[in-house]
Structure 1
């Protein structure tokens, strides 16, 4: 099957996925069909990074504890361009004792030497990317990937993971309205009522009204508690 055909099949498999294991299996199968060993989905919101991947456990721990997302050349490139691209660790600094050199060496040691990345700019200033990686020097399918289908895959992964994160079922009467959800999302990003009003084009009083309604629906006494509950229930 062609890369395009494999992409179509992957989109279908993701749509049918019922749990994290099925999502992981679908992505792993696609990776292997294209000559890659592993995959990594990453979402970055400010200083917060969330990942879902098949990378070696020790590497994920090193990556997060060392704040490597601040210097990761793949992330840097994803910010610069918004299309599918190929990368290789062989292009990164190979001399010296800089954090970037250490990042390069540790990535290669964990079997991450080259790959193809699909980046997408998310809502509220977030960024998402899906990477397929190989320990080989070069496995480049970027020129064979249909850009639209590649983005479909990334968004399918994003929304399926978001559904899985919603661990607590919420009754219809407790569902937040679109305006309430928007105000809650900006609150999770540290914005007060005035700042949210400026960003959304509504008045601070209306923002506060939506936050008060959201607090009542989710049984939160304060906005910080509202933010915590929303995150815990996978609403944001």
Structure 2
């Protein structure tokens, strides 16, 4: 096994001083290079949509989305189920069924033959995956000794993207209170006012008040419009 732990410390240090998203992406490229990999992929799976930042070939990214491979990819499925790092290699394809073996064959043609995927749970139903991959069929897989440390590193990546995205999109210009943000975030996930109130310990009337405040601050025509604006601006 080739252990990733020492490189994760360097990643955390780099992220602590990042001032823009380009710097975060550069830190991830350095992580991949130091780990002996050629690609990285950062993915947020949200109930209301996905966010992807990746150096995988564009044709492969488009193919992956077009074929909905996220429902077939055994590394994503296992990592999402166990919330543990999953080392993988094309050399292990014999363990899977024919359809999954064809998936590995196709990925290999795009220069993706082995790697590791690191998952975490984030807020409001979001799951985050950080993957490293190389074109080599690794018999000496990448692994981590300290799963908690790996999760911390992925959380740093996630928080960096969230913080810097909000800066770019002007989120700080909209002074939403924590309660307003919570109510709007649950509304974005399709929760009713009663359901949101139950989760936050508030009355339905109070939730309605907070959502109306969000609507006013975002200059929206209604709450649905406000949620749409907030989601587009990455406010919650």
Q: Give 1:86-125 correspondences, 5 Å limit.
A: 86-92=87-93, 96=98, 98=99, 100-125=100-125
| Alignment match, 1:211 | 211
Correspondences of 1:59-208 after superposition (within 5 Å): 59-92=60-93, 96=98, 98=99, 100-138=100-138, 139-143=140-144, 145-166=145-166, 167-170=168-171, 174-208=174-208
Residue in structure 2 matched with residue 32 of structure 1 by the alignment: 33
Partners of 2:37 and 2:134 within 8 A in 1: yes
Q: How many residues align?
A: 231
The structural deviation recorded for 1:200 is 2.5
Q: Secondary structure at the match of 2:108?
A: helix
Return the alpha-carbon distance in structure 2 between the equivalents of residues 200 and 104 of structure 1.
Answer: 44
Instruction: Describe the shift of the 1:187–1:47 C-alpha distance in structure 2 as closer, same or farther (beyond 3 A).
Output: closer
Cα deviation, residue 87, structure 1: 1.5
SS at match of 1:123: coil
Q: Is the 8 A contact 1:24 1:54 kept in 2?
A: no
Deviations 1:13-59 (A, max 9, x none): 11222223222221111211121111111111136221111111111
For residues 4 and 91 of structure 1, do their structure 2 counterparts lie closer, same or farther at Cα, with a shift above 3 Å needed? closer
Name the counterpart of 1:58. Answer: 59
Q: Contact conserved, 2:171 with 2:234, CA < 8 A, in 1? A: no
User: How much is the aligned-residue C-alpha RMSD, in angstroms?
Assistant: 2.1
**CA separation in 2, counterparts of 1:184 and 1:110?**
40
Unaligned segments of structure 1, at least 5 residues: none
Q: C-alpha deviations, 1:147-176, integer Å up to 9, x for none?
A: 33322221121112112322332566x311
Find the aligned partners of 1:185 and 1:109 in 2 and give their Cα distance.
40
Stretches of structure 2 that go unaligned for 5 or more consecutive residues are: none
Which stretch of the first structure deviates more once superposed, 197-206 or 27-36? 197-206
Conserved 8 A contact 1:214-1:226: yes
TM-score normalised according to structure 1 size: 0.88
For structure 1, which segment, 178-187 or 26-35, has the greater mean C-alpha deviation from structure 2 after superposition? Answer: 26-35
Structure 1, residues 62-107: CA drift from partner, whole Å, max 9, x if none? 11222221222111111221222212234346774x3x34432221
| SS state at 1:44 partner | strand
Is the contact made by 2:48 and 2:189 (CA closer than 8 Å) also made in structure 1? no
1 CA distance for matches of 2:229 and 2:57? 31
* Displacement after TM superposition at 1:210 (Å): 0.8
The SS at the match of 2:16 is helix
CA pair 113-216 structure 1, distance change in 2 beyond 3 A: same
